[in-house]
Each structure stands twice: as C-alpha cells, then as structure tokens.
Amino acid sequence: MSGHPLSVPGTDGFSRRRFLAGTGSLLGAAALAAHTAGPARAEVPGLDLTPVPDGSHVRALVIGTGYGGSVAALRLARAGVDVHMIEMGQAWDTPGPDGKVFANTTKPDYRSFWLRGRTKQPLSQFLGFPLDKDVPCHTGILDAEDFAGITVYQGRGVGGGSLVNGGMAVTPLRDRFPEILPTVDPAEMYATYYPRANAGLGVTEVDQNWWEGADAYQYARVGRKHAQRSGFPFVFVPNVYDWDYMKQEAAGAVPKSALAGEVIYGNNHGKKSLQKTYLAQAAATGRVSVSALHRVTSVSPAATGGYTVAIDQIDTTGAVLATKTVRADRVFFAAGSVGTSKLLTRLKATGALPGLNEHIGKGWGDNGNVMCGRANHMWDPTGKLQSAMPTAGIDNWEAGGAFAEVAPLPTGIETYASFYLSITRTPRRAEFSWNPATGRVDLSWDRAWKQTSIDMAKSIFDKINAKEGTIYRSDLFGAYKIWGDHLTYHPLGGAVLDRATDNHGRLHGHPGLYAIDGSLIPGNTSVNPFVTITALAERNIERIIAEDF
Ligand code: FAE
C-alpha cells in the first residue's frame, strides 16, 4: 500500500508560504503549510490522538508504536478489542517553520535528536571536520541512547523505528532461521507470517532496469562491481520505499525525499513508514487511540485485577506536565528492545513485577553492527546524488559471518567513498541490570567486543581493498578511526522468547503481560531486523488473541 498522494503543493502554496515567512509570521506559515503541503504531512488519517485521561480503564494497553506495537494494535482492534497505545515520542503530524515535518540528514535541527543539546550523528566527522553541533533540547526523532560501551540509535515518535530507518525489508534466508529464533517453527513463519508481514509493511523490490540507469544508485553499482570482482555474492534487498515516487523524484516531478538524502531524521515523502501501513489500518478500525508524548514509567498488578500503569505526560522539552494512572486488563510491552528491557529490568528489581523470571534483561545483542567506508580511486566516483534508501548487500555470511549493506553517503558532493553497514554473526550478548545508586538501568556491553564483528566485516573489505588497490576511510568516525564500532541501529533481545516469556511472548509470572517487539529476539537476525520483528509479532498476536481474549 502506498498512501502518499503524488500531487504536490503547487507554486501557489509555496509562494504564499514564503510570503508569510517574509512577513515574519512563522506561526502562520506553519499553519498554512499544514493545509497545503499534503505529502509532507506524516500523520495517520483518522488516528485518535486524544490523550488518555487520568484514572481511566482500558482493555488493552500497548507501550510503544513501533513494529511490534503496531501489529498488536491492528490485530487486537480487528478482533474487536479497543486498544490504547502510549508513545513517548511525538505524533510527527505538524510541519516545522520550513513547511516540512522532518529535518534533512545534512541539516539536523531541533527535530532531529531526542532530548540532547548537541547532535550525536552516527558519522561524526567528515574529511577531518567534526560534524556535530548544538541544537535545542527537544523531543526529536532519533534517540542516540548512551550506555557504557555502546550508543543505541532508536526512533522516537508515532511509528517508532519506522520513522528513521533505511526501509531495508529483509527476510532472512530460511536455512539461517533456526539460528535466529530456535524455538519457532520455520515452516509456519515462511508459509504464513513472513508473507503476512511483508504484505502489511508494503515491501517491494526496486525495478532493476530503472536501478541500472539511475544516477542515485551509482554508489550501489560501484558497490556491486567491487563485490563481484572479489567473488562475493551481491544481492538486491527489498525496501518499503515507494519506488514510483522515487522515479518521480528522479524526474523532478515531485518534492525530493530519498533523493534529497532524507532518512535518519525522518522522511517527508515516499517511505511507507508504519504511519502509512499498519497504523493507518489500525486507525481505520476506529478502535485504536494513541497518547503521544506520554511515557510509561511503571506497570504493577492492580488490586482490582489487571495492571496499574503509571504514565508521565511530557512536553517537547521533556518536562513532565502531568502524571497519570491507567488501569489496563492487559499490557503489551512494545517499547523496543531497549525500552522494554529497561522497563522490565527495573520493575522486576524494584518489586513492582516480582514474578518476572531470571531471564529478564538477558540475551541482548547489537545484531553485530559495524560500519566502515572505503576510499575509491578517482575513476570510481560514487555520485553526488545518492538515494538514502539502500537496495543491496554483500552476503558473506556463510564464509565470513558478515552481511554488508551497501549504504549511501548522501552528502550532496562527490566523496569517492563507498560506505557499508555490516551485520555480523557475533556471539557477544550483554545484560541489563538495575543500578539503585544512579536510578538507571545499565547495559554490560564492552566496546572491545566489537572486534569480533570488525574481523567478520574485514572478511569482505580486506579482500575488496586488496583486489581494488584501495584503502579504508579513516575520517568518518573520528581522526584516523576506520571502524564505526561505537554504535548499533539494531538492538535486539532483553526479554527473549521462550526464556523471559513463553513461546508466544507471554511474560512469565504475570498473566496478561506480553513482550511483542525486538526484545524477544536473542541478539541477531543475520540481516536487518524489522521484517522478522513484524513477522514474529504477527505469529504471537494470532495465538494470544485466539487463546487469551
Ligand atoms: P521500535 O520501532 O523501536 O518502537 C518502540 C517505540 O516505543 C518507540 O516509538 C519508542 O519511542 C517507544 N517507547 C520506548 N519506551 C517507551 C515508554 N517507556 N513509554 C512509551 N513509549 C516508549 O521497536 N531495520 C531494518 O530492518 N531495516 C533498516 O533499513 C533499518 N535501518 C535503521 C536505521 C536507523 C537509523 C535505525 C535507528 C534503525 C534501523 N533499523 C532498521 C532498525 C529498526 O528500525 C528496529 O529494529 C525496529 O524499529 C525495532 O522495532 P520495535 O517494534 O522493536
């Protein structure tokens, strides 16, 4: 499903907006833009955004609006259950002063980062220059959440990670599945739940004929040439971007989005985020409402049955406006691997949910993420126009334990650089623990553990460099630093399936509590994770609805 109109705000809307801005009426400009800039609106038509009243009772409460949460909400609502979703991020339905909902990747501003006064860009340097800058502290879209050994990047807002990710929608090879989720029947996943997830997410393949000639994918074709010359399998991967829209971007017929480099701070057009797929369908049931800028702080058994959920309502500076208590018959933890793990770890340690078992907070992994760039020769330009939506990868999983996404470096200038995000088969797993002294949840990740992932990624890039006579870039992650080993985009685990929960996500010890997001997956999916998170949620919610409601 597509959902975005291909019609664009005409010159009329644009010039009126500029006129208003010129008269100093920024507020007026934003308000007008909200009515004229159709495709820039990210809100879900019909979604009830009425904040939950203090003291209310809900049948099913979902914490978080990412993949797991959206699947749960849609399927519960279709089964006739009223659902309320609590989302700590914004609704992302209001354009900023520039008429756009989301900021551009090259120009982060107050919309870009979650409650930090300075950006923390995944690529922190370029050609020796630091890229980070001060921004107003705001409930922006990308959270760079720091733990002792790793920064975990996550999406914040209605739509969760779907708002900021690259849209790479990869179903793992079936013979690798038993390694990913050993207690799940592959037959049912590949016959029913992966196809259901792919359909629900609007996953499609790029038109390869168009791709072969598209300026915006020159970087990917260079990536293919180098991979193939070194004997590595080069694979196309599906995406949730609307390829027809991208073709129109390339033709100059619509406002540019992927071709303007939009990705990690949101995508104003073209990408089918959850707002356009699962959440739009959930809204259409009339049974789903969302409290945005509301953060769940506690869940505990209620004396009258069900659970008492404590919620902070916050403003866009993060200040608490109100504290609410809601009673829910059933609660779905879909706050993402880190969000769900942090909540459950604290609630177990502080006695709010004493029945949770010893597996809570364990089995967390980074999907083996590590980044690097290569410096190409002058005769191998990667193009100054680079689509922000990746379409391909280099698969050396069997031989070297690495699957490398051929990623864009959408700087707007020719960099002669090839850039890669590798997913590796690292065995490293960390654990969340409650720290009463700081009142925070810590993660036991050690930066040195990334060496395993670097070695696996080198199984691809050392060979390519040797073959091509090229070298690694050392100016992207710090001065003379080759490997982006400080971060992950793919947090997984912390409430692992069939350990912290039963084999369908029911948390042990507290009937009516479920985990239904990336926290269920024990640390690695061999490819980008959101299709697997969605498919597993589809599998689990079907059983939960059939047996528990
Ligand atoms: P997620 O989507 O993170 O949703 C959790 C939601 O819960 C968020 O909206 C939170 O704000 C909210 N929340 C957290 N705590 C609370 C609380 N206490 N109260 C209320 N709300 C709360 O979870 N994956 C791919 O497969 N392909 C890609 O191309 C890709 N690219 C990525 C690029 C970037 C920059 C990033 C950061 C991630 C990327 N990912 C990609 C990962 C993917 O987005 C991620 O695995 C999923 O979003 C995780 O889905 P969950 O449902 O687990």
Over the stretch 39-77, which tens digit does the pLDDT of each residue have?
455 578 889 999 999 999 999 999 999 999 999 999 999
Atom 40 of ligand 1, residue of closest alpha carbon: 165
Class of domain 50-548: alpha beta
Residue 11 has pLDDT above 70, yes or no: no
Cβ-Cβ contacts under 8 Å for 225 (sequence gap 6 or more):
none
| Closest ligand 1 atom, residue 390 Cα | 29
- 88 in the Ramachandran plot: left (φ > 0), alpha (ψ -120 to 50) or beta? alpha
The rounded distance, in Å, linking the Cα atoms of 527 and 236 is: 13
Cα distances (Å, whole numbers) of residue 267 to 92, 167, 275? 11, 10, 12
Burial (Cβ within 10 Å: 0-12, 13-18, ≥19) of residue 8: middle
One of 490, 504, 510, 542 is an active-site residue; which one?
490
Average pLDDT over residues 203-231: 98
Contact of 97 with 29, CB cutoff 8 Å: yes
**CA torsion, ordered 254, 256, 259, 260, to nearest 10 deg:** 170
CB 224, CB 211: distance < 8 Å: no
Q: Flag whether pLDDT at 33 surpasses 70.
A: no
The 10s digit of each residue's pLDDT in 258-288 is 999 999 999 999 999 999 999 999 999 999 9
Q: What tokens does 246 get? A: 């991208």
Which residue's CA is minimally distant from atom 13 of ligand 1?
335
Using the predicted structure, report yes or no on whether residue 140 has a pLDDT greater than 80. yes
What's the 3-state SS for 352-409?
CCCCCCCCCCCCEECCCCEEEEEECCCCCCCCCCCCCCCCEEEEEHHHHCEEEEEECC
CA 179, 66, 265, 388: dihedral to nearest 10 degrees?
50
Beta-strand ranges (E) seen in 212-319 are 234-236, 288-292, 294-301, 307-314
CB 76 within 8 A of CB 60: yes
Q: Please determine, for residue 19, whether its predicted confidence score (pLDDT) is greater than 60.
A: no
Residue 399, token pair as written in the block? 């031989």
448 vs 10 pLDDT, higher one: 448
Q: What percentage of the chain has pLDDT greater than the value 70?
A: 92
Distance, CA 393 to ligand 1 centroid (Å)? 21
At 121, is the pLDDT very low, low, confident or very high (cuts 50, 70, 90)?
very high
Identify the active-site residue in 145, 249, 262, 405: 405
pLDDT tens readout for residues 80-111: 999 999 999 999 999 999 999 999 999 999 99
Q: Are 538 and 518 in contact, with CB atoms under 8 Å apart?
A: no
For residue 301, the cross-strand partners are 307
Catalytic site residue 226?
Answer: no
Pocket test for ligand 1, best of 490, 520, 534 (most atoms within 8 A of CB): 490
Going by pLDDT thresholds of 50, 70 and 90, the confidence category of residue 13 is: very low
Does residue 164 surpass a pLDDT of 60? Answer: yes
pLDDT tier for residue 3 given thresholds of 50, 70 and 90: very low
pTM: 0.93
359 among known catalytic residues:
no
Q: Would you say residue 35 has pLDDT above 50?
A: no
- 392-434: per-residue pLDDT in tens? 999 999 999 999 999 999 888 999 999 999 999 999 999 999 9
Answer yes or no: is pLDDT of 133 > 90: yes
Q: What is the dihedral of CA 205, 104, 420, 193, to 10 degrees?
A: -40
Name the closest-CA residue to atom 3, ligand 1.
336
Which residues face 370 on adjacent strands? 422
- The lowest-confidence range among 39-48, 355-364, 401-410, 536-545 is 39-48
User: Which of 492, 444, 421 lies closest to 181 in space, CA to CA?
Assistant: 492
For the CA atoms of 327, 62, 293, 277, the dihedral, rounded to the nearest 10 degrees, stands at -150
Percent of the chain at pLDDT exceeding 90: 88
Residue boundaries of the structural domains of the chain: 50-548
- Give me the pLDDT at residue 129, please: 84
Mean pLDDT lowest among 208-222, 449-463, 472-486: 472-486
* CA of 293 relative to ligand 1 center, distance in Å: 16
Average pLDDT over residues 17-40: 31
| Atom nearest to 343 CA in ligand 1 | 18
Question: From ligand 1's centre to the CA of 534, what distance in Å?
Answer: 11
Mutate which of 240, 530, 534, 538 to test ligand 1's pocket (most atoms within 8 Å of Cβ)? 530
pLDDT over 60 (residue 295): yes
- The structure tokens 């904040």 sit at 51
Q: In this predicted structure, what is the pLDDT of residue 127?
A: 77
Q: Tell me which of 115, 152, 154 to substitute to probe ligand 1's pocket, judged by most ligand atoms within 8 Å of the beta carbon.
A: 154
Chain-wide mean pLDDT for the chain? 92
Cβ proximity of 407 and 388 under 8 Å? no
**Cα–ligand 1 centroid distance for 381 (angstroms):** 33
**pLDDT score recorded for residue 38:** 41
The Cα 515–Cα 13 span in angstroms is 45
Q: Give ligand 1 pocket residues (Cβ under 6 A).
A: 63-68, 86-89, 153-157, 160-161, 164-168, 264, 295-296, 334-337, 339, 343, 489-490, 517-518, 528-530, 533
From the CA of 161, how far away is ligand 1's center (Å)?
A: 3
Return the SS3 of 321.
strand
User: Which of 489, 517, 527 for a ligand 1 pocket mutation test, highest count of atoms within 8 Å of Cβ?
Assistant: 489
Q: List all residues 6 or more positions away from 369 whose beta carbon is below 8 Å from its beta carbon.
A: 421, 422, 423, 424, 453, 487, 488, 489, 490
Q: In this structure, are strands 320-333 and 402-407 parallel, antiparallel, or unpaired?
A: unpaired
**Which atom of ligand 1 sits closest to the CA of residue 530?**
26
Q: What is the pLDDT of residue 42?
A: 59
Using CA atoms, how far apart are residues 331 and 59, in angstroms rounded to an integer? Answer: 9
